Amino acid sequence: MPTPPPGLALGPAASVIDAPQAAGLHDLELRDDANRAARFTLALPDTPAPPGGHPLVLVLHYGGQPTRYYGRPLLEHLFGPALAALSPILVAPESRGASWSEPANEAFAMALLETVAANYAVDPARLVVGGYSLGAMGAWHLIEHYPERFSAAIPVAGLPNARVTAPVPVYTLATPSDEIFEYAAIERLVETLREHGRDVELVRVEAQGHYDVTGFAPALGAAAAWLTRVWGEQPMPSNREQTT
């Protein structure tokens, strides 16, 4: 891993802030090369880095008009607790509105991933992207365009908005009660990807509709064991649909 820069920054002409070291959640703001505010929440584990470094999980938030540190609840109530056993570093950028495939949001998310990876003990072979709803769409998008950067994706309650090939393993969660994304469409996508030899697992969740974010939390807990298998620490079982 290259020598870390002196702090978190989004570009050579951007502002720099000290990288926090204390465990817990940190709401942070940077300025990019165009002097635009770029806010995000960073979650640091309270355990020493394992050999090779911590996993790093980029978490993309749902739709709506973003408020300050809009992705923080996903770290607090969904991805953070679910993946705690892996001792990961998690980072949740706040979008500038629109989708995560919009160029400014995509560039921000990837630049944030790089600066966090450069400033902490991160295992570059264990980078993951996850997201909820619009963020799930963003996770599908990023693995399609940056497969060399991510080891896996965890899209929750969301379908891709373009054709995808799932070039890295995917663990996706969906509920039949979803009012936005048809469950049968997710089943068809997963079946098609598997027919093409892709490593995709679908978990059926009995949540109370699309907006029941915490209803996905118990099922998401199994993602930690799935990631461990993906990273080669246990044999990978055959793909199947699970029900939680």
* pLDDT(152) > 70: yes
End-to-end CA distance of the chain: 39
pLDDT at site 9:
81
* pLDDT(170) > 90: yes
pLDDT at site 241:
54
**123 in a domain, yes or no?**
yes
* pLDDT(12) > 90: no
Q: What residue numbers bound the domain in which 38 lies?
A: 24-170
* pLDDT(29) > 90: yes
Q: 184-218 pLDDT, tens per residue?
A: 999 999 999 999 999 999 999 999 999 999 999 99
**4 in a domain, yes or no?**
no
CB atoms within 10 A of CB 116: 21
The pLDDT mean for the chain works out to 91
Q: Which residue has the tokens 């926090």?
A: 20
Report, as an integer, the average pLDDT of 54-66. Answer: 96
pLDDT at site 234:
46
**80 in a domain, yes or no?**
yes
Contact 75/63 with Cβ under 8 angstroms?
no
**Of all residues in the chain, what percent are helix, strand and coil, respectively (each to 5)?**
30, 25, 45
pLDDT at site 4:
45
Q: Is 4 helix (H, G, I), strand (E, B) or coil?
A: coil
> Between 224 and 97, where is the model more confident?
224
Q: Burial code of 89-100, b = ≥16 C-beta within 10 A, e = fewer?
A: bbbbbbbeeebb
Q: Which tokens belong to 76?
A: 């607090």
Please give the model's pTM, rounded to 2 decimal places.
0.92
Domain of 153, CATH number, reads 3.40.50.1820
Q: Is 203 helix (H, G, I), strand (E, B) or coil?
A: strand
Q: Report residue 11's pLDDT band, with 50, 70 and 90 as the boundaries.
A: confident
pLDDT at site 204:
97
Q: Report residue 3's pLDDT band, with 50, 70 and 90 as the boundaries.
A: very low
**236 in a domain, yes or no?**
no
Q: 76-107 pLDDT, tens per residue?
A: 999 999 999 999 999 999 998 889 999 999 99
Instruction: Identify the H or E element spanning 201.
Output: strand 200-204
**152 in a domain, yes or no?**
yes
Q: How far is CA 156 from the centre of its chain?
A: 10
pLDDT at site 244:
54
Q: Which tokens belong to 195?
A: 């027919």
**28 in a domain, yes or no?**
yes
Q: Report residue 32's pLDDT band, with 50, 70 and 90 as the boundaries.
A: confident
Q: Which amino acid is at 113?
A: L
Question: Whose CA is closest to 95, among 139, 140, 135, 149?
Answer: 135
Q: Which tokens belong to 54?
A: 């911590």
Domain count within the chain:
1
* Spatial separation of the C-alpha atoms in residues 117 and 114, rounded to whole Å: 5
Q: Report residue 17's pLDDT band, with 50, 70 and 90 as the boundaries.
A: confident
- Looking at the DSSP bridge assignments, the partners of residue 201 are 171
CB atoms within 10 A of CB 169: 23
